[in-house]
Amino acid sequence: MAVKPKIAKRKSALKGTVKDRSGAGKVKAGELLSKAGYITPAQLDTAKLEQKKNGGRIGTILRRLDYIDDDTIYNFLSRQHNFTPVSISKEPPSKDAVKLVSYELCKQYMAMPLRLAGNTLQIAMAEPTDTEAVEKLQEELGKDLAVCVSMEKDLVEAFQKYYGINEEEADSFFTTGEEVEEEMAVTEVDDFGSIVADAADEFEIETIDEDDVGDQFAATDAPIIKLVNGILIKAVQDGVSDIHVEPYEKTMQVRYRKDGSLFKSMNLPLTIKNAMVARLKILADLDITERRVPQDGRIKMRLGRNRSVDFRVSTLPTLFGESVVMRILDKSSLNVNLTKLGFEQETFDALKRCLKRPQGLLLVTGPTGSGKTVTLYSALNSLNSEDIKILTVEDPVEFNFKGINQVNVHSEVGMTFAAALKAFLRQDPDIIMVGEIRDIDTAEIAIKAAMTGHLV
């Protein structure tokens, strides 16, 4: 009998704290975001249907559907509803607090204990506006709670560090089983070599008349489609950066570049040369009748519902036909922690120091395929938040990111690196990224920008 009054007292204390937050606790995060204009009512309804079907938190579903960013709820609740924002990596929890709450409870309520003061436990949650969840957690712990807000990504990293969960368990917070199954079904094929072999067998011809070579098969034939798809998917699965399709006098060669080194993947019959190049041109929306001049295009390929890969395509007329080179632009490979890029500790510490500075010039140099683009984009990704204005000028833009203003160079109309940089300085940027510094004008403006309060 003595327990009930304590629980009631804690409940009333909780209601008192919630009341002071503009009624935030009485309305779920989804409704708050909709009222504030962050999402539309239709998007909220879609997320609710998904929640009803598969379960989960509304904030997680909205983020998975790309309706909000990772830090939207965190920034919104901390700025507009007075929840204390907590970055767990900068404010590590106490051992006493971690021992008090089991991992199962943390996972159930997406919460992380921070520190204990008397009978009050400070706790960080992904969605602290869910009063019902907070009250249930309070009852289970038998403590008064001081609730803060933290990002889901930070909470999962804390689970890994303080509760020792593995990578698979950590990934389960960001994907549903259904999504994983679908992606496996689309991308996992047992043997791409046999697909290529089967397709190549159908290309054998009896006559090898030089006038007819290369025109035996059309770009719309099923074997060509199967072969091209196999080459592209194999490249993505193997983690290569470039695909080279090169015709020679007696054979057609496919080479992949991985970790900066080229290696041969397969030899193909010369009879499929024109059909294969035409198929790649169709996918890249290029002119298949023009074989005399270089062309540039882009292929977008979907792998499952939540992953797409872009290929930047370049064709070049050579002695024995058109050579095609494709740069693989896989956005998922950029969403990596900077710690996983393989830097030596000394270099990594220097990079972190540079990125934390409010102004200055950071130069990233290296040979082809050494990881310059991945390093730059991963660094920008780590800095990308709603309180920082980021502008980039590139030739061409390889990956597009939400929250970053990216500009393509068009030298023909005077839109050069130098011209873009001059315009950037009037756009009130915090961070500027220059794809290439090729001339004195660009270098001069970049250095001046770095000396006048910008991180370049």
Overall average pLDDT of the 123-131 stretch: 85
* Residue 302: pLDDT band with limits 50, 70, 90: confident
Overall average pLDDT of the 36-54 stretch: 84
- For residue 33, give the 3-state DSSP assignment: helix
CATH of domain 29-173: 3.30.300.160
Tokens at 47, concatenated: 């997320």
Q: Structurally, what CATH architecture does the domain formed by 220-330 represent?
A: 2-Layer Sandwich (3.30)
The pLDDT of residue 145 is above 80: yes
Give tens-digit pLDDT for 108-126.
888 899 888 888 888 988 8
Distances, alpha carbon 253 to alpha carbons 249, 369, 372, in Å:
11, 20, 27
* Residue 98: pLDDT band with limits 50, 70, 90: confident
pLDDT of residue 184: 41
The pLDDT of residue 56 is above 80: no
pLDDT of residue 384: 85
Dihedral sign from CA coordinates of 407, 413, 415, 419: negative
Start-to-end CA distance of the chain, whole Å, equals: 65
Q: Which of 67-81, 97-111, 271-285 has the lowest mean pLDDT?
A: 67-81
Overall average pLDDT of the 284-311 stretch: 85
Q: For residue 356, give the amino acid letter.
A: K
Same fold flag, 29-173 and 220-330: no
Cα–chain center distance at 293: 35
Helix extents (H) in 94-173: 95-100, 103-109, 131-141, 152-162, 167-171
The pLDDT of residue 17 is above 70: no
Give tens-digit pLDDT for 225-251.
888 888 888 888 888 889 999 999 888
Strand bridging mode 261-268 / 111-117: unpaired
**For residue 218, how many C-alpha atoms fall within 13 Å in the half-sphere facing its CB?**
3
**For residue 231, how many C-alpha atoms fall within 13 Å in the half-sphere facing its CB?**
30
175, 234 contact by CB (below 8 A): no
Which position has the higher pLDDT, 193 or 428?
Answer: 428
- What's the residue count for the chain? 456
Give the C-alpha separation, 449 to 393, whole Å. Answer: 14
Tokens at 253, concatenated: 């060669």
CATH of domain 345-452: 3.40.50.300
Burial letters for 63-94: b for 16+ Cβ neighbours within 10 Å, e otherwise? bbeebbbebbbbbbbbeebebeebebeeeebe
Overall average pLDDT of the 311-318 stretch: 92
Name the percent of the chain lying above pLDDT 70. 82
pLDDT of residue 345: 86
Phi, psi at residue 91, to the nearest 5°? -125, 75
Phi, psi at residue 86, to the nearest 5°? -130, 125
Q: Domain boundaries in the chain? A: 29-173, 220-330, 345-452
299, 313 contact by CB (below 8 A): yes
Q: Angle at which helices 72-80 and 29-36 pack, to 10 degrees?
A: 80
Give tens-digit pLDDT for 73-88.
888 888 888 888 888 8
Overall average pLDDT of the 185-200 stretch: 52
433, 376 contact by CB (below 8 A): yes
